C-alpha cells in the first residue's frame, strides 16, 4: 500500500472479503481506481470485468441470485452510478443481496461545476436498505477511523444479506492520486489499535437470530468465549428491554462472575440484585482496574464518560453486543460479535451452558461499588447541597413502581453517577435517542399519562425547563400530577466539564449563557404548586410531600455550577478505590 487512498480501499475490501464477499463486477473508470486495484489484488475475490455499468450491475445481480449471498458492483463517479439503477430496483423488489460501491469526487468539488460530478449521496433513494457516504481518506487517521472501515464493511454485508436481503450503497470519495503512487506521510499500514483480526477472521461477526429463536450455532460460538475468560463485564446501556430481562441479567452475572454495570436509564438499575452503579466514580481519572478480556453489551451506548473511556482503552479482544433491533450502537468500533437477537431469548439459551464462577475479579468490583456508595452517603451530607446529591435523594425517596424521567445534559449524568441501585423497582426514562433538551417536560408528562397509577417525577435543568415551559400546560389540561425537580444553576452547567471553560469571556457569554431567571412565575402561570429549596432537609421534605400527595409541584433547587462541579470532584476523589491493585 502506497498512499491513503490505496490503504482505505484495501482495508475496506479486505474486510468485505473477511465478511464473505467473493464476487465483484467492475466497470472501467478513473475515480474508482483504488477500489479496482483493491478488488483485483485480493486473493479471496473473483473479479468480473465489464465494459458498461448497466450490464455489470445485472451480472452481479445474477451472481447474487445464484449464490444467495451479496455480490458487489463497482463504478467511477458521475452518470456511471446512475446506470446501476435498473439492477438496484430489481434487487430491491426481488429481495436480492447486492453491494454497490460508487467512487465519488471529493466534497469540495460537489456542486461546483466540476466535470463528471453529480449528487451521489443517497442517489438510489428508498431502493436501498442502507446508504453511507464515507469520509475522505486521511493521511494519518486515528485508529477509530480505521476500525470504523472494518465494522462498516461487516455491517454492509450483514444488512445486504439480512432479513430481508437487499441493496447496500457505499459512496466513496477520493482525491488524487488515485493510482498506487507513494505519498510521503500517508498511512500504509493499520495502527496498532486498528489491526485486523487474526487468521482471516472478520473484524466483526454479524450473527442473526431466526423467528424460532437463537440458533444453537450462535450459542456454540459465544459459550467458549465466556468460559475461557475469567475477566469479563456485562454492560447495559440505555433502553434495555423490559419484562424478565433484568432478572436474566442478574442471573447471567451470577453464573459468569462478570459484574453487571448498568446505566441509570437502562431500565434495570433499580430493583435487580447484584448490579453495579458506581462505575462513573470508581473509574474516574487514573484507576487501578485491569482491563476485561470480554464485554457483553446490551442496549445503547452507555451514558458514562469514564466507563466508555475505560472500555475503549482496555480494547478487549471480545466484545459481544446483543440487540433485538439490529441497530448498531458502538461508537468506538470495538464490537467483535454483533448479534441481532431478542436479548432475553439469548440469555435464556446461554444460561444452561454456563457454570457458576466467582473470582477476585468479581470481588474487586463489588468492593469498589461498596466503597463508592459509602463515600457518597457520607459526602452528600456536607454543605453546600449540590445537584448530584438532590438526584441521589430523589431516587432514595421514590416509592416502589414510581417513574422517573431525567433531562439531558447534567441530570441524566447525575442519575447515572448518583442513582444508587436498590431493591425498589423504579422505572427510569430519558430522551437518549438524540439526547436533546427539547420537549423533555412534555415527554415526562406523556410518561405520567401513560402510567397513571404510579407517581411520576422529572428532574431537569433550567435550560431544559425553559426550552419546554409551554409543555406545562398539559399538567392541568391532561391531568398529570407530576413532581418536577428543577435544578437551576443559571445556565448550561454541563459546559463547565469541557475544556472551553478556560476561555473567557466567550465561555460565559456563549456557552453557559446565564439568564438570571427563577421560575416561580411559571408555576403561577400554569397553576402549579411551587417550592424553592436550598438545603437537603428542605428538598427531601418538599419532594416527599409532593410524591405522597400526588400534587403537581415544581421544586426549584438553585445551585452554583462551579460549586457543584467542585463538590462532585471532591466526592469522586474520596470514593476512589484504593485496594484493587495487583490483580
Dump strand ranges (E) for 357-446.
403-406, 427-429
Given a cut of 60, is residue 578 above it in pLDDT?
Answer: no
Per-residue pLDDT of 234-269, as tens digits, reads: 999 999 999 999 999 999 999 999 999 999 999 999
- Segment 56-77 shows an average pLDDT of 97
How much is the mean pLDDT over the chain? 94
Homologous superfamily (CATH) for 205-368: TPP-binding domain (3.40.50.1220)
Contact 63, 25 (CB under 8 A): yes
Contact 299, 263 (CB under 8 A): yes
pLDDT at 581: 40
How sure is the predictor about 577, in pLDDT bands with cuts at 50, 70 and 90?
A: very low
- CA-angle at 13, arms to 10 and 15, nearest 5°: 105
How sure is the predictor about 116, in pLDDT bands with cuts at 50, 70 and 90?
A: confident
The CATH code of the domain at 380-574 is 3.40.50.970
pLDDT at 573: 85
pLDDT at 473: 97
Contact 98, 167 (CB under 8 A): yes
pLDDT at 42: 97
Lowest-confidence segment of 19-23, 147-151, 354-358, 388-392 by average pLDDT: 354-358
pLDDT at 580: 43
pLDDT at 359: 87
Closest to 444 in 3D by CA, of 433, 466, 460? 460
pLDDT at 574: 84
Given a cut of 50, is residue 188 above it in pLDDT?
Answer: yes
Integer Cα distance of 513 and 6 in angstroms = 47
How sure is the predictor about 582, in pLDDT bands with cuts at 50, 70 and 90?
A: very low
Per-residue pLDDT of 442-482, as tens digits, reads: 999 999 999 999 999 999 999 999 999 999 999 999 999 99
- Segment 563-568 shows an average pLDDT of 89
Per-residue pLDDT of 210-241, as tens digits, reads: 777 899 999 999 999 999 999 999 999 999 99
How sure is the predictor about 1, in pLDDT bands with cuts at 50, 70 and 90?
A: confident
Whether omega for the bond prior to residue 402 falls within 30 degrees of 0, making it cis, is no
DSSP-derived secondary structure for 437-483 = STTHHHHHHHHHHHSTTS-EEEEEEHHHHHHTGGGGHHHHHTT--EE
DSSP-derived secondary structure for 332-347 = T---SEEEES-HHHHH
User: What is the percentage of the chain residues whose pLDDT exceeds 90?
Assistant: 87
Per-residue pLDDT of 329-364, as tens digits, reads: 999 999 999 999 999 999 999 999 999 988 899 999
How sure is the predictor about 135, in pLDDT bands with cuts at 50, 70 and 90?
A: very high
Rg (CA), the chain: 27
pLDDT at 486: 98
User: Quick check: do 4-179 and 205-368 share a fold?
Assistant: yes
Q: Any idea where the domains of the chain sit in the sequence?
A: 4-179, 205-368, 380-574
- CA-angle at 72, arms to 147 and 1, nearest 5°: 45
Whether omega for the bond prior to residue 384 falls within 30 degrees of 0, making it cis, is yes
pLDDT at 406: 98
Given a cut of 50, is residue 122 above it in pLDDT?
Answer: yes
The fold for domain 4-179 equals Rossmann fold (3.40.50)
Given a cut of 60, is residue 522 above it in pLDDT?
Answer: yes
User: What is the percentage of the chain residues whose pLDDT exceeds 70?
Assistant: 99
How sure is the predictor about 192, in pLDDT bands with cuts at 50, 70 and 90?
A: confident
- Segment 525-533 shows an average pLDDT of 97
Task: Kindly report the pTM of this predicted structure.
Answer: 0.93
Amino acid at each position: 500500500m502506497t498512499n491513503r487512498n490505496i490503504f482505505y480501499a484495501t482495508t475496506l475490501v479486505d474486510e468485505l472479503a473477511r465478511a464473505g464477499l467473493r464476487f465483484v463486477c467492475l466497470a472501467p473508470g478513473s475515480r474508482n481506481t483504488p477500489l479496482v486495484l483493491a478488488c483485483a489484488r485480493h486473493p479471496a475475490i473473483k473479479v468480473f470485468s465489464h465494459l458498461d455499468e448497466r450490464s455489470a450491475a445485472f451480472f452481479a445481480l445474477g451472481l447474487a441470485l445464484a449464490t444467495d449471498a451479496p455480490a458487489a458492483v463497482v463504478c467511477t463517479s458521475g452518470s456511471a452510478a446512475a446506470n446501476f439503477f435498473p439492477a438496484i430496483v430489481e434487487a430491491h423488489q426481488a429481495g436480492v443481496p447486492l453491494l454497490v460501491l460508487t467512487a465519488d469526487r471529493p466534497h469540495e468539488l460537489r456542486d461546483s461545476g466540476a466535470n463528471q460530478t453529480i449528487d451521489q449521496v443517497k442517489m438510489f433513494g428508498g431502493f436501498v436498505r442502507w446508504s453511507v457516504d464515507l469520509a475522505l481518506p486521511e493521511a494519518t487517521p486515528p485508529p477509530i477511523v480505521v476500525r470504523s472501515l472494518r465494522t462498516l464493511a461487516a455491517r454492509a454485508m450483514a444488512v445486504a444479506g439480512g432479513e430481508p436481503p437487499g441493496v447496500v450503497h457505499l459512496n466513496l470519495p477520493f482525491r488524487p492520486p488515485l493510482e498506487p503512487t507513494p505519498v510521503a506521510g500517508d498511512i500504509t499500514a493499520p495502527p496498532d489499535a486498528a489491526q485486523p483480526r487474526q487468521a482471516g477472521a472478520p473484524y466483526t461477526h454479524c450473527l442473526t437470530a431466526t423467528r424460532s429463536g437463537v440458533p444453537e450455532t450462535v450459542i456454540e460460538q459465544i459459550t467458549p468465549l465466556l468460559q475461557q475468560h475469567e475477566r469479563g463485564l456485562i454492560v447495559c446501556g440505555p433502553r434495555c428491554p423490559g419484562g424478565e430481562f433484568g432478572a436474566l441479567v442478574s442471573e447471567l452475572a451470577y453464573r459468569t462472575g462478570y459484574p453487571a454495570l448498568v446505566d441509570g436509564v437502562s431500565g434495570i438499575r433499580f430493583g435487580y440484585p447484584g448490579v453495579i452503579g458506581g462505575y462513573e466514580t470508581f473509574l474516574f481519572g487514573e484507576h487501578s482496574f485491569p482491563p476485561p478480556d470480554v464485554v457483553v453489551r446490551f442496549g445503547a451506548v452507555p451514558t458514562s464518560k469514564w466507563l466508555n473511556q475505560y472500555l475503549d482503552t482496555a480494547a478487549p479482544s471480545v466484545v459481544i453486543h446483543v440487540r433485538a433491533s439490529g441497530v448498531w450502537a458502538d461508537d468506538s468500533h470495538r464490537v467483535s460479535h454483533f448479534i441481532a437477537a431478542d436479548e432475553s431469548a439469548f440469555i435464556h439459551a446461554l444460561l444452561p451452558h454456563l457454570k457458576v464462577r466467582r473470582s477476585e475479579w468479581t470481588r474487586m468490583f463489588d468492593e469498589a461499588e461498596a466503597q463508592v456508595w459509602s463515600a457518597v452517603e457520607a459526602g452528600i451530607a456536607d454543605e453546600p447541597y449540590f445537584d448530584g446529591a438532590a438526584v441521589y435523594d430523589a431516587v432514595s425517596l421514590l416509592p416502589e413502581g414510581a417513574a422517573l424521567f431525567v433531562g439531558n445534559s447534567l441530570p441524566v449524568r447525575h442519575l447515572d453517577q448518583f442513582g444508587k441501585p436498590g431493591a425498589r423497582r423504579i422505572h427510569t426514562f430519558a430522551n437518549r435517542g438524540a439526547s436533546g433538551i427539547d420537549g423533555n417536560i412534555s415527554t415526562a408528562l406523556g410518561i405520567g399519562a401513560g402510567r397513571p397509577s404510579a407517581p411520576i417525577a422529572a428532574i431537569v435543568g433550567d435550560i431544559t425547563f425553559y426550552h419546554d415551559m409551554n409543555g406545562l400546560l398539559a399538567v392541568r389540561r391532561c391531568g398529570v400530577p407530576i413532581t418536577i425537580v428543577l435544578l437551576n444553576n443559571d445556565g448550561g452547567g454541563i459546559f463547565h466539564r469541557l475544556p472551553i471553560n478556560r476561555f473567557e469571556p466567550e465561555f460565559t457569554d456563549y456557552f453557559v449563557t446565564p439568564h438570571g431567571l427563577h421560575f416561580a412565575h411559571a408555576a403561577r402561570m400554569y397553576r402549579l404548586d411551587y417550592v424553592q429549596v436550598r438545603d437537603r432537609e428542605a428538598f427531601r421534605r418538599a419532594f416527599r410531600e409532593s410524591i405522597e400527595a400526588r400534587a403537581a409541584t415544581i421544586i426549584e433547587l438553585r445551585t452554583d455550577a462551579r460549586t457543584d462541579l467542585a463538590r462532585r470532584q471532591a466526592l469522586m476523589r474520596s470514593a476512589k478505590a484504593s485496594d484493587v491493585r495487583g490483580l
